[in-house]
A and B are shown apart, each in its own frame.
Chain A
Amino acid sequence: MSTLIATTNLKKHYQMGQTLVRALDGVSVTIDEGEIVALVGPSGSGKSTLLSLFAGLDQATDGTLNVFGQNLAAMTGADLCLHRRRNVGVIFQSFHLVPTMSALENVALSMMFAGVPRAVRDARARTLLESVGLGARQNHRPRELSGGEQQRVAIARALANEPRLILADEPTGNLDSRTSREIMDLLTALNARERKTIVFVTHDAPLAARYAQRTIALFDGSLAVETGV
């Protein structure tokens, strides 16, 4: 298996008032293509920060971060934008759907930024929504959907530009246990069916143990332990 993500001594520090917060303080990990990896750790351990660096949503303070062979730590804002658009699909704990848009429009939105023609993106958005079991809810706005349904829309959106890497930040954090299982089943099915690499953040150790092939535990911004290697 080829390496998809490789970090070396990755650091993310930021100032909060007078205090320098070391969100990540020298993390070196590798993630191979096709893996399902769980990032675990207590609150403030830096797991979400690490995921946001993988996603290109934030920039590292120091170290190297190679994703698809490109060093994100040295990229400009415009290059990071292209990385987000082409390489990754991101799923958030609080779904982050545009509240004024229907499920279909939310899924099509990321394709709009990629310049996909309207007819093509609408057709693909419909297919994706059907694949996550929301064929009948396409024209509903987020507030008309349950938490699980909203997260399914977010998964469909993450898949829209056909990324090879899916990054999910606490994807089940706002869901009940049954819905959580459904969402995780959906993600693992994607991995099995399309060989998507999936990295998800969770503080739910049993969930990580059940769905991840490998778990990376962080503590105070540093790598604590890796299991399943």
Chain B
Amino acid sequence: MTVNDTVHLALRNLRQAKLRTALTILGVSIGIASLCGMVSLGVGLQDQLTGQFLQSGVFDAITVTPAADLRGVMAGGPFVARGRGLAGGDGRGRGADSRPPAAPARDLNDAAVDELRALSGVRDAYPTVNVPVQVTYGNFSESFTANGVPMSVRDEGAFRTMTAGAFFAHDTDSACLLSLAAAKRINEQDPKALVGKELTLSYASSRGTAPDSGGAPASAASPGLAPEAVGAALPGLMQIQRVSITCPVVGIVEREVGTGPFAGRGGGAGLMIPLTRAKAIERENVTSVQALLRQTSGTSPRPASYQMVTVKVAEAKATLEVEDKIKTMGFSAFSLTDALEGAKRVFIILDIVLSLIGSIALAVSSLGIVNTMVMSILERTKEIGIMKAIGASDGDIRRIFLVEASVIGWIGGIAGVALGWLVGRAINIGANIYIESQGGTAATLFLLPWWLVAGALGFSILVSVVAGSYPANRAARLEPMHALRHE
């Protein structure tokens, strides 16, 4: 008996009992839909969380800081701690964790950034430069921390899919990006309309002139800054003036994408300016304590050193390796890769639990298959006897029943995946209506990747065949004479 004939005969048998076949298929499809829905919820939630983490750029990023050694800091005092890092310390700087680097601690300056960038497996390295500025737009005035963004992140995360506008054109532009949340704070009704509008950023400068011709000295002190107080504390050492620069908003991103693991957190965040620009402001901004100390120390100008440098690795899996290399160079380094692994483990467990819950319905429906097939054998005992009498082998009979079961599984699987997708989509739409009404961003809670579709179909057929194997074997073992006498 050929495969075609077996399938043809099996389909014919299923058509003979339309109602029972349809009800069994419905049972299987509900089981598969439940399994599929549960797993797709797990996948969707995992994707939401890891997606947000990955978009925030924390898992391919290593945060490098000057090697921390409290004894060194204490011995060298704050000036040394800032100005030289631990270069003058005891050379026993250690990493943020217990892995032993054993290299002399070093200053985190531009040369070090270049060195880090040149490491193999490193895509980019840039310092974290955050400068406090006062943002004024119409009646709005609030202090912000302007985050220096390197040009290299233009194709990363949320910068790739700007909510409005575009990324900076040049690294030295007097331009800014806003996070959607920050834009909403400035213009709640129509945040996207801010693109192209000019914000005024002001800060206290020790030079008294803006770093570019666009700036103009401001005489009025801002509540966010306190140049007078600083000047009073350090009389005669420098002239402090308030500098205001106009800064057009070139784009809005959905959420602030980190240039470091902690970017975008806390109040006053959401303002991004080109990194070079941020460095220039930081150099003269007297509200930056470090700059102030640099000014008042009276020492010769030193190359700027940073509190934190972000190293982006080319591949997230190389993060730990690069991290170790950086530690041997004399810096502290840490990444959140371990946290991601932990999160993944949690989601695997969540997926398993959800699959088990979903499997209950599938187990019940597989009993439905067994029941249907056993009933079918009872009804068709005589027919099985006839088929055996005219030459059907045990294998022929077994295959007919197994194909019937797998057809139930196949159709039930397709219907189940479709049902699971529809229910997931309906819940998604409903949930997003609620989320958006609460001011949140729409999210995909149920995700149905291709592997889940294929897996659900395969599983459905497998379960059906396993469930059908007992009735199929029972049918195959029937004695022809016994079956022929059955009424």
- A: which residues have CB within 8 A of B? 52, 55, 57-58, 77-78, 81, 84-86, 90, 92, 96-100, 109-110, 112-115, 118, 157, 160-161
Which residue on chain B has the smallest CB distance to residue A81?
A: B393
Q: Which of B1, B390, B394, B484 contacts A77 (CB 8 A)?
A: B394
**Contact status A81-B391, CB under 8 Å:** yes
| Complex CA distance for A225 and B385, rounded to whole angstroms | 32
Residues from chain A with Cβ under 8 Å of B396 in the complex: 113
Residues from chain A with Cβ under 8 Å of B308 in the complex: none
Which of A58, A92, A96, A112 has the most chain B CB atoms inside 10 A of its CB? A112
Given known A-B contacts A84-B389, A113-B1, A57 and B481 have beta carbons under 8 A apart: yes
Residues from chain B with Cβ under 8 Å of A90 in the complex: 389-390
Which residue on chain B has the smallest CB distance to residue A108?
A: B5
Given known A-B contacts A58-B481, A112-B5, A113-B1, A97 and B386 have beta carbons under 8 A apart: yes
- B139 at interface, CB cutoff 8 A: no
Given known A-B contacts A112-B1, A113-B396, A115-B1, A96 and B484 have beta carbons under 8 A apart: yes
Contact with A along B376-388 (1 / 0, CB 8 A): 0000001101111
18 more A-B contacts (CB under 8 A) besides A84-B388, A100-B12, A113-B390? Answer: A52-B481, A57-B484, A58-B479, A58-B480, A58-B481, A77-B394, A78-B393, A81-B394, A84-B391, A90-B390, A92-B484, A96-B385, A98-B383, A99-B383, A113-B391, A115-B2, A160-B390, A161-B391
Interface set, chain B 383-407, CB cutoff 8 A to A: 383, 385-394, 396
Can you list 14 A-B pairs, Cβ within 8 angstroms, ordered by A? Answer: A57-B388, A57-B389, A57-B480, A58-B480, A85-B390, A85-B391, A90-B390, A96-B385, A96-B386, A96-B484, A98-B387, A100-B12, A100-B16, A109-B387
Which residue on chain B has the smallest CB distance to residue A83?
A: B391
Residues from chain B with Cβ under 8 Å of A160 in the complex: 390
| Complex CA distance for A84 and B5, rounded to whole angstroms | 19
**Contact status A110-B390, CB under 8 Å:** yes
**Contact status A113-B393, CB under 8 Å:** yes
Q: How many pairs, one residue from A and one from B, have CB atoms within 8 Å of each other in the complex? A: 64
- B361 at interface, CB cutoff 8 A: no
Interface set, chain B 218-271, CB cutoff 8 A to A: none
How many residues from B make CB contacts under 8 Å with A? 24
Residues from chain A with Cβ under 8 Å of B363 in the complex: none
- B9 at interface, CB cutoff 8 A: yes
- B: which residues have CB within 8 A of A? 1-2, 4-5, 9, 12, 16, 382-383, 385-394, 396, 479-481, 484
Nearest-Cβ distance from residue A153 to partner chain B, whole angstroms: 12
**Contact status A81-B390, CB under 8 Å:** no
| Complex CA distance for A100 and B479, rounded to whole angstroms | 22
**Contact status A98-B481, CB under 8 Å:** no
Given known A-B contacts A113-B1, A113-B396, A118-B5, A157 and B480 have beta carbons under 8 A apart: no
Nearest-Cβ distance from residue B109 to partner chain A, whole angstroms: 83
Which residue on chain B has the smallest CB distance to residue A157?
A: B390
Nearest-Cβ distance from residue A98 to partner chain B, whole angstroms: 6
| Complex CA distance for A58 and B484, rounded to whole angstroms | 11
Which residue on chain A has the smallest CB distance to residue B4?
A: A118
Residues from chain A with Cβ under 8 Å of B386 in the complex: 96-98
**Contact status A96-B394, CB under 8 Å:** no
Nearest-Cβ distance from residue A128 to partner chain B, whole angstroms: 13
| Complex CA distance for A77 and B397, rounded to whole angstroms | 13
| Complex CA distance for A206 and B4, rounded to whole angstroms | 48
| Complex CA distance for A81 and B394, rounded to whole angstroms | 8
Residues from chain B with Cβ under 8 Å of A55 in the complex: 389
| Complex CA distance for A98 and B484, rounded to whole angstroms | 11
Nearest-Cβ distance from residue B470 to partner chain A, whole angstroms: 19
Nearest-Cβ distance from residue B104 to partner chain A, whole angstroms: 82
Residues from chain A with Cβ under 8 Å of B16 in the complex: 100
Residues from chain A with Cβ under 8 Å of B383 in the complex: 98-99
Nearest-Cβ distance from residue B152 to partner chain A, whole angstroms: 67
Residues from chain A with Cβ under 8 Å of B388 in the complex: 57, 81, 84
Q: Which of A58, A113, A118, A157 contacts B392 (CB 8 A)?
A: A113
